[in-house]
Amino acid sequence: MTDKTTDNKAYLYSASAPTSEQEGRFLAFLRKKYGEETELVFVEERELSDGFRLQIGNDVFNWTREARLEQLKESLKNLANRDGELIPLIRENLHDWTPKACAEQIGRVLTVGDGIATVSGLDSAFYGEILIFAGGLRGMVQSLTEKCVGCVLFGDASDAGVAAGTLVRRTGRISGVPVGEEFIGRVVNALGEPVDGKGAVAADKYRPAESPAPGIVDRAPVKRPLQTGILAIDSMFAIGKGQRELIIGDRQTGKTSIAVDTILNQKNKNVICIYVAIGQKSSSVASLVHTLEKKGAMDYTIVVSATAGDSAPLQYLAPYAGCAMGEYFMEKGRDVLIVYDDLSKHAVAYRSLSLLLGRAPGREAYPGDVFYLHSRLLERSAHLSEKRGGGSMTALPVVETQAGDVSAYIPTNIISITDGQIFLESDLFYSGQRPAVNVGLSVSRVGGDAQTKAVKYAAGTLRLDLAQYREMEVFTQFAGDLDETTKAQLCHGQRLMRLLRQPQNRPMSHHGEVIALVAAGSKALDGVEPEKSRDFVMSLIDLCEREHSELCLRIDETERLTDEDKAEIIGAAARVIL
């Protein structure tokens, strides 16, 4: 796009005509900048009694009182980045400050509707730039054509009085959100504005919603474990700090529960958690926030909410805003956990925007860049090198499937981007197995590298035993008499499945998981009724915490399990009475 004007006339809007001397100065400035043929045309505008506005083509030089005060405001904002006492700096700044004649482009709305506006006259606008509409409504450039730009609106156009002919002003700023420590414990929208009724948030800085992902040189291997507190996941599909692990399954199969339990398990572990709600009901988000507050998890959690009642542009922007907040902490050397719940609705919101902007639809009416939509988001999760501070951001994207179809367009896209997936099966869920983790389809591509030594040693052949049990369970439906070995494997598998059932919002401690896995691996559960497997293990953990507290402390601190520790746990299991 170009900055050149097609008209050699400059229009001076003011309450009074300029004097000959003023007109000569205007012409000297204009002809130096736009050519010797430039003419000056005076247009009376009585409302501009405190200044003037000079317009040539799409360039506007605003010398009104409001514009000069805005310049002063921006100048004072820059003082926050300077060292020294604030009051003397303000005095110095006011003494030396003089307004500048800065050109800004003013456009006009051509059409508006369904959260989309097309604007003419903004020849230099760039993709992702924030525009300000008359009335204060903000929008973001999402489409660039030869004659106009397409803009998504962050609000209701009718409420703000935006219609055809409305003036639009460029800001020169890419879309972003305020970030800072004060956002911890708050519920904000996709623009970083608080929606929890607890007042304004003091931001440390403004950060672009989209930024390049860390390069290979800036990354470190994913080796440090991020424990979920869910035995089925930590023992078989370990998640490391900096990893991207997909949670996938049908509607109402416990996807959000796994994410919430993982957040609850980060208490007192110096991990900042960010939960991004996309397209959910407001009541569901409120219930989740209440659970986090009740468990004390809001002390280290930020909730970014773009509910089903919000516009598609806000739903589209929400995960990028949450990611920008996470990057702020990651670059300060902190560990961050971010949950995107869910990216299926995010893709639908983006499809709506794309179709309204006139982009060509592809498979399932999604635009051709829908893969890039999520890849540029998830690639920003990383474990930074020590040179970059050593911080990390772990992503748990959530995707909803239809009838367990993991081969659909959006699920396959995100599976190919992430480092593994936890697949929740409807049949398991409805049979009472919760969390309903399918052992065969779930995987972590980081695997044992992200497990503690203790859990890795204690888990042993758990995953293999469960896989054999599931296969044998299907086979026994068609078989008659079973041999003793097969019966023993079935009984052992039944008890393992019962052990992996875990109540919601009750994550297990690290030593608790190790004790449970040792009990399962030593066949201590085989003499217990399957229905009492979970009760047996809970009693064993309680016994160890009371009578073997040094053992529990040693496992938590060293994250290792010795043969002596294992024997001590097996000995305690023999003394458990249900």
Nearest Cα residue to 429 out of 500, 520, 509, 491: 500
Q: Is the peptide bond before 530 cis (omega within 30 degrees of 0)?
A: no
Nearest Cα residue to 44 out of 31, 53, 32, 34: 53
User: Tokens representing 145?
Assistant: 């054509």
Nearest Cα residue to 348 out of 408, 302, 403: 408
Residue 247: what residue type? I
CA torsion, points 518, 523, 526, 530, in degrees to nearest 10?
30
The one catalytic residue in 68, 108, 445, 554 is: 445
Sorted by sequence, the CB contacts under 8 Å of residue 9 that are 6+ apart come out as: 38, 39, 40, 41, 56
| 568, 551 Cβ separation under 8 angstroms | yes
Sign of CA dihedral 520, 524, 526, 527: negative
Nearest Cα residue to 118 out of 386, 400, 356: 356
- CA–CA distance, 280 with 398 (Å, rounded to integer): 13
- CA–CA distance, 110 with 469 (Å, rounded to integer): 65
Q: How many residues appear in the chain? A: 578
- Find residue 302's DSSP bridge partners: 274
- CA–CA distance, 69 with 398 (Å, rounded to integer): 46
Note if 445 is an active site residue: yes
Alpha helices in 343-483 (DSSP H): 343-356, 370-378, 409-417, 426-430, 453-459, 462-475
**Residue found by looking up tokens 């006139």 in the block:** 358
User: Tokens representing 26?
Assistant: 């205007």
State the number of CA atoms in the 13 A half-sphere of 91 facing the CB: 5
Residues with catalytic roles: 445
